[in-house]
Amino acid sequence: MIERKALIFNIQKYNMYDGPGVRTIVFFKGCPLRCKWCSNPESQKKKHQVLFKESLCVNCGACVSVCPAGVHRLSPDTGAHEFVKGSECIGCRKCEEACLQSALSVVGDVKTISELLEIVEEDRSFYEMSGGGLTLGGGEALMQPDAAANLMMVCKQVGINTAIETCGYAKPEALMKVAEFTDLFLFDMKHMDSDRHHELTGVRNEMILSNLKTLLDNRHNVQIRMPLLKGVNDSEGEIRALIDFLMPYRDYKNFKGIDLLPYHKMGVNKYKQLGWEYPIQGDPSLSDADLDRIESWIKNSDFPVTVVRH
């Protein structure tokens, strides 16, 4: 039997933020959204990519001579390293290995489910002590629903707790395939207005809201996560719209409350390394007073709420 594989871009151990206890996060590559504040832009495309640290490059051309896909070249005008327009990285990592300055890194690894389970199981003792386990992150794991479901299934079979962080933008059948083996959904809510949601992320939110209702109605455990940006989704009207939507589920045992995730700039340098322009102008960070105010609006409606400060 041919074993299913997943395209991932990172595995993070000893995480304490994305689900209960100590967790291992497997980050799946590929995402249907293009959030302007994305902190993992290298996760968006479901293919291999090259990150380039220009400050480390000495323009030696070693990458040019070894790349079978013709991704790299030295500019005929300046002699500086540049990417060949229209070329596609195949993930061979020959450029990464040839670069003695560590200016290049290839993003994207193909792993079998068995390989991923072996990595996850390495920290079983930490999960058992803390109530932790595996979390699928991204990107968006539901873009690879069969691989995601398989990994969750084998973890459940060996007694490992499972969670998934999701934007919720997926076909209902993909969502429910994974839901069968998921102990907790960390469900992102970006904006309640569909037009504004489209402006900010590239997709409308009707399917997201429908999927959220399906999970809650079918008694799957759901924790809402809301990234917060000043002037984007921090108004009282926006928070009230979220509260009104969730109010019918407030007393459900499977509704686990709301996490507020303040904006941070941790992904900015990655945009430069990909050769992309960072989409956000200015600094939409919220002050402690802003966060306290938003938290109080939600608490006043008797919702459990936590501000997650990394």
pLDDT tens by residue, 4-38: 999 999 999 999 999 999 999 999 999 999 999 99
* Per-residue confidence (pLDDT) for residue 169, from 0 to 100: 98
In the predicted structure, residue 284 carries a pLDDT above the cut 90: yes
pLDDT at 310: 66
Q: Is the pLDDT of residue 1 over 60?
A: no
* Cα dist from 58 to 47, 62, 72, 80, 107, whole Å: 27, 10, 14, 8, 21
| DSSP letter, residue 247 | G
pLDDT on residue 75: 96
Q: Collapsing DSSP states into helix, strand and coil, what is residue 163?
A: strand
- 222 Cβ contact partners less than 8 Å away, ≥ 6 residues apart: 184, 185, 187, 212, 215, 216, 254, 255, 256
Q: Where are the beta strands (DSSP E) in 176-281?
A: 184-188, 222-228, 255-262
Whole-number Cα distances in Å, 37 to 107, 138, 152, 164, 185: 20, 14, 28, 20, 21
- Let me know if 99 is exposed, middle or buried by CB neighbors in 10 A (0-12, 13-18, 19+): buried
Helix/strand/coil for 155: helix
Residue 231: what pLDDT? Answer: 94
Q: What is the pLDDT of residues 186-195, one digit of tens each?
A: 999 999 999 9
Average pLDDT, rounded, for the chain = 96
- Structure confidence at residue 265 (pLDDT): 86
Domains of the chain: 5-45+109-307 (3.20.20.70), 56-105 (3.30.70.20)
Q: Which residues contact 219 (CB under 8 A, 6 or more apart)?
A: 252, 253, 254
